[in-house]
Amino acid sequence: TSSGKVRGIFTSETVGPCSGDGSDWGQSWTTCRPQLHAAGVGTYLFEDACENSALRPTTVTEETVYEELQALGSVFGVDVQPIINDMKADFDQAAGLVSSSMSGAPLKTVWLDCVGRCCEVPEGHEEQVFVGGGTGAPNMLMQEAGLSNVFSDRSGNWVCVNVSDVIAADPDVIVVVDAAWDTAIDKIKWLYNDEEFCHLDVLRAARFVSIPFSATTLSPRNGPAALDLAVAALHVRTGSQTESRESGVSSFSPYFLQYHTSCQLCPLSMQYVVYDDATDSAQNYNLCTTTSTTPQPVTVTNCGVSNTLASAPTRAITMNQGATEFLLAMGLEDSMVGTAYLDDAIWPKHAAAYATIPVLSSSYPNETHIMAQNPDFIVASYSSAFRAQYTTSSGKVRGIFTDETIGPCSGDG
């Protein structure tokens, strides 16, 4: 890449060189499908991701999903019609559910995929968030679920939009994508820490639906996911109770959200929430006891190096076991996006919490893996966790960070 990072999979050691028709697309990268074919390996790429964007469907619809199924069915000699029939039934039920329950009134919906790191804007410009656009699978799922996509007029599977555009839309429901590398609850906490978002009814009433990332791309899960989107959206909007299809799409317990937002700028107040969770209660959580509603900057001087934090870290990485167990002992597993380098088994009393945190490496992770987690704080037991890369007298490369991410590492501190 332009920053010197290595991307891609195949090289001339296996099927390359990857060039020529079917490989060159006028980009900085090429693909190796013709070369795989020549090596006796067939390939199939979903059409909404075609290398040549002109070959992608203008708009992804349920028919797009069926066509992909039929194509793969023909390859493997499988009758996919029963799968298609089941999906159609789910799609039909989903659309009718919202329409009848809302008496034809639309449920304005924002599909929130990513905040804080996916949309680069020049310094001084308004912050943007990554949302479902009007031509991809997210829009298809919302449409099939009977939801009205606020950004259906924006071309693309996903698009960057100004934060003010989301606020001006005043959505009824926010669908939040959940992924191991970017959890739904992290995005929700980000919303509750923004003064402008705090004024929206959708936050006051905690009208959030979680969808796993794996259900947001073309797959046989799309039908059940659309139905569960409708069910969950109605649940948080009206308090209705309908059995789900277990696609992974769900609402949150309001008590869970109250707990996770209790230390944010505008903690959730249950008085506006119209739904409940019979399997949960407020007694299961110890709410934040801070009396300040505005995060206060904290300056920390540690080992002669100072830095100022605008608010408490929410995306921490720990390296080395002592650092990890320190944060777990403080109950901060929900504020940790990664951990690395255990010396031995984690202290059993913290094993359950530790199991919820992504393990980046059994030793020190590389800088790319660290920065990909978008951390806002790193805690380590040893200075080796912060070293710039260097070569020892025996020719071995040590250290982690280079100029490709945060370097050069020189100067005071």
Q: Tens digits of per-residue pLDDT, 226-264?
A: 999 999 999 999 999 877 767 899 999 999 999 999 989
Cβ atoms 328, 308 nearer than 8 A: no
- 97-106, 123-132, 190-199, 295-304: the lowest-pLDDT one: 295-304
Q: Can you give the pTM of this predicted structure?
A: 0.68
- Residue 290: band (very low, low, confident or very high) from pLDDT cuts 50, 70, 90: low
Mean per-residue pLDDT of the chain:
90
Cβ atoms 361, 372 nearer than 8 A: no
Cα–Cα–Cα angle for 318, 322, 326, nearest 5°?
Answer: 75
Tokens 């913290």 found at: 350
Higher pLDDT, 393 or 3: 393
Look up residue 296 and give its DSSP letter.
Answer: P
Give tens-digit pLDDT for 167-225.
Answer: 999 999 999 999 888 899 999 999 999 999 999 999 999 999 999 998 888 999 999 99
Per cent of the chain over pLDDT 70 is: 97
Q: How far apart are CA 256 and CA 316, in angstroms?
A: 21
- 200-209, 350-359, 387-396: the lowest-pLDDT one: 387-396
Q: What DSSP string runs through 344-412?
A: SSPPGGGHHHHTTS-EEESSPPPHHHHHHT--SEEEESSGGGGPBPEE-TTS-EE-SB-TTTT----S-
Mean pLDDT, residues 289-300: 65
Q: How far is CA 132 from CA 185, 370, 405, in A?
A: 18, 27, 29
Mean pLDDT, residues 70-83: 94
Mean pLDDT, residues 135-139: 93
- Judged against a pLDDT cut of 50, whether residue 31 lies above it is answered with yes
Mean pLDDT comparison of 7-16, 125-134, 300-309, highest-scoring range: 125-134
- Judged against a pLDDT cut of 80, whether residue 93 lies above it is answered with yes
Mean pLDDT, residues 141-166: 95
Higher pLDDT, 307 or 204: 204
- 146-155, 277-286, 352-361: the lowest-pLDDT one: 277-286
State residue 207's pLDDT score. Answer: 97
State residue 27's pLDDT score. Answer: 87
Q: What DSSP string runs through 57-106?
A: -SS--HHHHHHHHHHHHHHHT---HHHHHHHHHHHHHHHHHHHHHTTT--
Give tens-digit pLDDT for 18-30.
Answer: 999 989 988 888 9
- Judged against a pLDDT cut of 80, whether residue 291 lies above it is answered with no
Name the helix (H) or strand (E) containing 162: strand 158-162
- Two tokens at 374? 């978008």
Reduced to 3 states (helix: H, G, I; strand: E, B; else coil), residue 309 is strand
For residue 133, how many C-alpha atoms fall within 13 Å in the half-sphere facing its CB? 14
Q: Given CA atoms 24, 30, 36, 42 in this order, what sign does their dihedral have?
A: negative
Q: How far apart are CA 128 and CA 145, in angstroms?
A: 26
- Residue 383: band (very low, low, confident or very high) from pLDDT cuts 50, 70, 90: confident
Q: How far apart are CA 337 and CA 305, in angstroms?
A: 24
Q: Show Cβ contacts of residue 99 under 8 Å, excluding neighbours closer than 6 positions.
A: 146
State residue 121's pLDDT score. Answer: 87
For residue 58, how many C-alpha atoms fall within 13 Å in the half-sphere facing its CB? 1
